[in-house]
Amino acid sequence: MDFELMINSLPKLLNATVITLKLLSLSLFFGLFIGFLFAVLRMNKNPIINKFAYGYSYVFRGTPLLVQIFIIYYGLGQVEYLRSTVLWVILKEPYWCAIIAFALNTGAYTSEILRSAFQTIKPGMIEAGKSLGISSKIIFYKIQIPIAIRQSLPAYGNEIILMLKGTSLASTVTLMDLTGVAKYIISTTFKPIEVFIVAGGIYLFMTFLVHNTIKYLERKFSY
């Protein structure tokens, strides 16, 4: 065991953790919007809109995240037309490509989580609201959404942890996130176990924090 290496690599790895956290928070932020949008589309009665939303989540859940990043980072750069538009400012940056891929991916999972949360709401709740003369808009915002958020908390907590682990793939498109830096240190020192313990420890600490925060929120919002 090379304890010196472990201590020396800790500041570098902690620095890289900042990038991991940035990637995670931005993709979750955009992913939540995408997920909410597609969950609503999934519940639409129009079969075309419905199928479209289902297809989106099926494709993004059925293919590896690595393929999705590569399509966006390497693939889209090949389209001549895109290079001439404003979008290129974003798409030439590996950082934003990674965030787009992560957001689309977590959006697909989030839409499934939210959809099933909406479906577990008892029809009686909505009927009760209607019989009290509350407009369906207010029923949606004041009754359905709060219940759905509470219902989806445990599954969403898992999704955050999966996404935290997913951000490690950013290292495949030249980003130096926690895993990227860990790999760099491993390949220069050939001490995989020591680096794994430190980097893995940082990841575990983050998972632990997410897990406990969600547990706390679950208790807070339980009814």
Partner 1 sequence: MELLAFGKTGWGDELFYATLMTLAVSVTAMLIGFFFALIFTPLKLSKNKFLNLIGNFYTTVIRGVPELLVIYLFFFGGSGTIMFVASMFGYFEYIEINAFITGSFAIGIISGAYSTEVFRGAIQSIDKGQFEASKVLGIKKHIQFYKVILPQMLRLAIPNLSNVWQITLKDTSLISVTGLVEIMRQSYIAAGSTRDPLFFYSFAAVLYLLLTYFSMKLINKLELKYSRGY
Closest by CA position to 137, among listed 126, 121, 151 = 126
157 binds partner 1 (CB under 8 A): no
CA distances (Å), origin 200, targets 6, 14, 43, 193, 210:
12, 12, 40, 10, 15
Position 75 contacts partner 1 (CB under 8 A): yes
Q: Give the residue with the Cβ less far from partner 1, 144 or 189.
A: 189
Q: Are the C-beta atoms of 18 and 186 separated by less than 8 Å?
A: no
Sequence-distant (≥ 6) Cβ neighbours of residue 57 within 8 angstroms? 38, 42, 108, 109, 111, 112
Query: In the complex, what is the shortest distance from the CB of residue 17 to partner 1, in angstroms, rounded to a whole number?
Result: 12
Position among 9, 17, 57, 168 found at the interface with partner 1 (CB under 8 A): 168
74 binds partner 1 (CB under 8 A): yes
67 sits near partner 1 (criterion: CB under 8 A)? yes
Binds partner 1 by CB under 8 A, chosen from 65, 99, 101, 148: 65
Q: State which residue, 74 or 141, has the beta carbon closest to partner 1.
A: 74
Site string for partner 1, 187-206 (x = CB under 8 A): x--x-xx--x--xx--xx--
Can residue 81 be called a binding residue for partner 1 (CB under 8 A)?
no
Residue ranges that bind partner 1, judged by CB under 8 A? 58-59, 62-68, 70-71, 74-79, 161, 164-169, 171-172, 179, 182-183, 186-187, 190, 192-193, 196, 199-200, 203-204, 207-208
